[in-house]
Amino acid sequence: MSTTSPTACHPYFKLRSKIPAAAAAAPATWSVPALCAAYQWPTKQKGGGVIGIVELGGGWTPADVAAYFASIKQPLPKITDVSVDGTTNSPGQSDADMEVALDIQVSAAAYYVATGKPATIRMYWSQDIASAVAKAAADGCDVCSISWGADEADWGVPAATQMEATAQAATAKGMTVFAAAGDNDSSDGGPNASNVDVPAACPHVIACGGTSKTRTAETVWNNDPGKTSGEGTGGGYSRDFKPIPAWQKGAPKPPAGRGRMVPDVAANADPNTGYEIIVGGQPQVVGGTSAVAPLYAGLFAAFGTKAGFVDPELWAHPKCFTDITVGNNGAYKALVGPDPCTGLGAPIGDKIAAVVVKPAAAMA
């Protein structure tokens, strides 16, 4: 497959750094097991789902994996590297190591909490997201996590359309695809106050937005209030994928000339309330919507069923999520019901399991 991803694609992680100097106390951070418990993760799930993770750079080391899973008292996941186009696991060469560690550690830890079993992960190394997704689907992966992307305008319509076709084909094979919605508020770092990220904007991808979650509250993640381009969750309406999908029931009407709303779902992404991981032998606290995609991927892999294109099912059951009604991402404000900040909201894991594993038992 020819390369379609723009060279501007980058990972969506943020280091914990924006604690005001005058703050009386920094917010508490999260271990993955503690965050899963807060999100009412199911347990004793069948498991067996294979997690595919797309990486365009960076690398991981067995030492970091061993140290991390020892720190949270979980067994080691089984990790296999797959080179799609000659790109390889290359730790120690770029900051993208932070992304790779986040993807592995969050997805595998979330999977174990739900199953009590070690995860099976396949790492797809490529310079092209679509090619990696296609390979993961061909290999039979049950879920795919993508923490890289770029503003819709950087892709252009032909490449974005091909990315969507690849995602649609992958979901037809039963693979569920998750992608980070971006970490630069509503502008997505693009030319206007409101842009969306690809591949998250592709209708056959579950777009993952971000919240700021403390032990007592959860709001839209936005560390630069008053700005449309800052450190906070991406979200908005696509210019390329129109009209808004019929299954996005309850979503606000898009502006003229726009369609598909991003994100679909959300979870903790604020680096100030971030995820405790290990990179380069050192503990780190990391956030970003790139933590949200592997969190959901670990959960869905735990179900042991090929859910495929599950977005319509999730949108049909909004009670599987905690509605986030406070905050904004620049151009858009949180609303009662779905909105282009956090979509349906934060996960209620056991309720999602009831819908995805046993659709007939879906909530009224």
Q: Which residues form the catalytic set?
A: 99, 103, 290
30 contacts: CB under 8 Å, gap ≥ 6: 38, 213, 268, 273, 274, 275, 276
The pair of three-digit structure tokens given for residue 16, joined into one six-digit string: 């914990």
Contact 226, 294 (CB under 8 A): no
The vertex-143 CA angle with 81 and 173, nearest 5°, equals 105
In the numeric block, the tokens 């690809």 are attached to: 198
Per DSSP, 189 falls in state T
243 contacts: CB under 8 Å, gap ≥ 6: 254, 259
Contact 214, 27 (CB under 8 A): yes
Q: Which of 178, 196, 203, 83 is nearest to 131 (CA)?
A: 83
Contact 110, 30 (CB under 8 A): no
Torsions phi, psi for 200 (to 5 deg): -55, -35
Torsions phi, psi for 294 (to 5 deg): -70, -25
Q: Which residues of 271-291 are buried (b: 16+ CB within 10 A; e: fewer)?
A: bbbbbbbbbeeeebbbbbbbb
Per DSSP, 27 falls in state P
End-to-end alpha carbon distance in the chain: 43
Alpha helix positions (H), the chain: 32-38, 62-71, 96-115, 129-138, 152-155, 157-172, 292-302, 311-315, 349-357
Query: What residues pair up with 341 in beta bridges, in sequence order?
Result: none
Q: Which of 268, 277, 270, 213 is nearest to 74 (CA)?
A: 277
